[in-house]
Amino acid sequence: MLSSYACAVPGIMATRVIPERRDRIATMLSAPMMTCSARLPVYALLISAFVPDRHFMAGFINLQGLVLLGLYLLGIVGGIITALLLKKTALSGPTPSFLIELPPYRLPNIRSMLIKLLARGKIFLTRAGSIIFTVAVLIWALAYFPRPQTIVEDFENRRLVAESTLQNPALNQQLNNLEQLEAATLLENSLLGRAGRFIEPVFAPLGWDWKISAAVIAGLPAREVVIAVLGTIYAVGDVESNENALITRLQAARHSDGSRVFTLPVVVGLLVFYAFALQCIATIAVMYRETNTWRWPLFAWVYMTGMGYTGALLIFQISS
């Protein structure tokens, strides 16, 4: 479980040492609840953008750090509750005696270790890696196609006008703005943008618009992808070099009626959703490889995403 704080994949693979099958599966289904490193960029963006940088107790406690700690604790509590419920329901059975026979410890043989590493790496690439690659390509295709020629030609004409009327440094700034706006417009008209609008009614009770919905869909292969997608949608460009610009755009985002997109209930709901939702195709693929069935990975995706959705729904509806 501790190794799952870096990534759930090694945590799930480490369950091989658990002899009891029920305990092993319960641990697999609880490990993704731990706050992995992929969640941290999402937490950092939302917390830095919408949680005030306030200090308490003579500066010893920071509100932003307190919120981050709360999200870590939320994952721990969620994992414990998940394991307890599973042991009482789907994975119920007699409690085995807690007895582990420790093998004699020796220095590992480098050659044997490398052979095992290569073998396990090959298995991961051929089984889990193929699934990860397929889904990643699918999400990329959804975000890239189609590319309406009218939009491309319109922005090309805008660039020609800018080049004929402006001089540096104003020209470079205008060309950069047009490039970011073109990427945002193309994404809005892509299959991913249309999918975001299509499922917007599903997430509307959570207070999410189509932009957040599209980012959540794009985050299926990996949670941190949501930041890059939001950066593209809000015409920021390279998020790594324009993080402050993305924060400013998110803070200033408005609906058509002038109301804020990222209200406090929406932000808290997003944090809770990402604390629970299983948005990591690598975790799903490894869980499938370790169990040799799609039953448990699909079950994990449904119940974890359901927990995230329910938590965000309750927060938004009660707060509103």
Q: Does some domain include residue 159?
A: no
Cα separation, 41 vs 96, whole angstroms: 40
Q: Does some domain include residue 185?
A: no
Tens of pLDDT, residues 155-170: 999 999 999 998 888 8
55-56 and 61-62 beta bridge pairing: antiparallel
Could you tell me which residue, 59 or 273, shows the higher pLDDT? 273
Query: Are the C-beta atoms of residues 38 and 27 closer than 8 Å to each other?
Result: no
- Within 10 A of 51 (CB to CB), how many other CB atoms are there? 20
Tens of pLDDT, residues 204-223: 999 999 989 988 888 877 78
Tokens of 282: 């690598």
Given a cut of 90, is residue 94 above it in pLDDT? no
Q: Does some domain include residue 217?
A: yes
Distance of CA 303 to the CA centre of its chain: 16
Q: Which residues span the domain enclosing 252?
A: 2-93+122-145+190-319
CB pairs under 8 A, 24+ apart, for 64-69?
Answer: 67/271, 68/43
Q: Does some domain include residue 35?
A: yes
Given a cut of 80, is residue 318 above it in pLDDT? yes
Q: Does some domain include residue 173?
A: no
Report the share of the chain in percent with pLDDT over 90: 41
Q: Does some domain include residue 80?
A: yes
Predicted structure pTM score: 0.82
- Number of structural domains in the chain: 1
Band of residue 240 on the pLDDT scale cut at 50, 70, 90: low
Q: Does some domain include residue 136?
A: yes
Q: Does some domain include residue 155?
A: no
